[in-house]
A and B are shown apart, each in its own frame.
Chain A
């Protein structure tokens, strides 16, 4: 139906993550989890997909002996997001 829309972005949780990351410099996994109300398992899977597409950078590190995952949007991700929003607008204008 919406075949012009980027399938990576046209999924609720992935789009939510990208929208959050486009507004900030970088965010922790826990922040994304809280804002999207997603489960940790589902969120991990979607973040992995975004990472594989090259839309986000994921850095895993340790903070006070606890693992910490920091996500950040890449220039490719910004571009894809921009194109996605433009395509949405053309659909809505129809």
Chain B
């Protein structure tokens, strides 16, 4: 680029092209949506089978598998941060949306037993579905990606459905269903979009 004087029209064109260049990468490849979507899908379905068909009292044990995924994710995020050369506002806000979600889920895990005086089984599915919808819906809005917006709304519809179903075991089946519509399908669509632009 030369340093000689250039006219206002060229200035505006330059500003416009640089702003577009800064934004031209769609950075979300969907891998975390897919990873968590499948993990929660498999765990919740396994838990349902253990609980409903085998009447196994420690059915929640399957969730210990998710700790391995948490460790993997921490390593993955650290690697991503190391490779990162630019920090966009979108990425920054999204990071906090997901952090809020993680905090709420952990808080809920501690609080729900107390708040419902041990009767949490009948409330957990609608509450979880309501919360699952929040980061998905917001991610869809921030990334301007419709499948995630629809997925988020889908979670909230399933939360109402869970309340109407009433029976705990069957209510529980809505969680793997929510994973398919809100995490897994949008995850594959995100990945397809990401691959298309990296070509």
Contact surface of A with B, Cβ cutoff 8 Å: 1-2, 5, 10-13, 15-16, 19-20, 22-28, 30-31, 35-38, 42, 63-64, 85, 88, 91-92
Contact = CB atoms under 8 A, between A and B. Distances in A.
B1 A25 contact: no
A27 B8 CA distance: 26
Contacts of B1: 12-13, 16, 36-38, 42
A28 B92 CA distance: 15
- Main SS of chain A's interface residues? helix
A35 B14 contact: no
A27 B86 contact: yes
Nearest to B91: A25
Given A12-B1, A16-B1, A35-B22, A26 B86 contact: yes
B114 interface: no
A24 B85 contact: no
* Majority DSSP secondary structure for residues of B touching A: helix
Contacts of A16: 1, 14, 18
Contacts of A12: 1-3, 6, 14
A9 to B, nearest CB: 8
A85 B11 CA distance: 9
The 8 closest A-B pairs by CB, nearest first: A19-B18, A23-B22, A31-B85, A28-B85, A27-B86, A91-B8, A25-B87, A88-B8
A51 B89 CA distance: 22
A88 B18 CA distance: 16
11 contacts: A2-B8, A5-B11, A20-B22, A23-B22, A23-B88, A24-B88, A25-B89, A27-B87, A37-B1, A91-B8, A92-B9
Contact of B11 (A15, A24, A42, A64): A15
Interface string B19-30: 101110000000
Contact of A88 (B3, B11, B91): B11
Contact of B15 (A2, A5, A19): A19
Contacts of B91: 25
Contacts of B21: 20, 35
Nearest to B89: A25
B5 interface: yes
A92 B10 CA distance: 11
B88 A25 contact: yes
Nearest to B12: A88
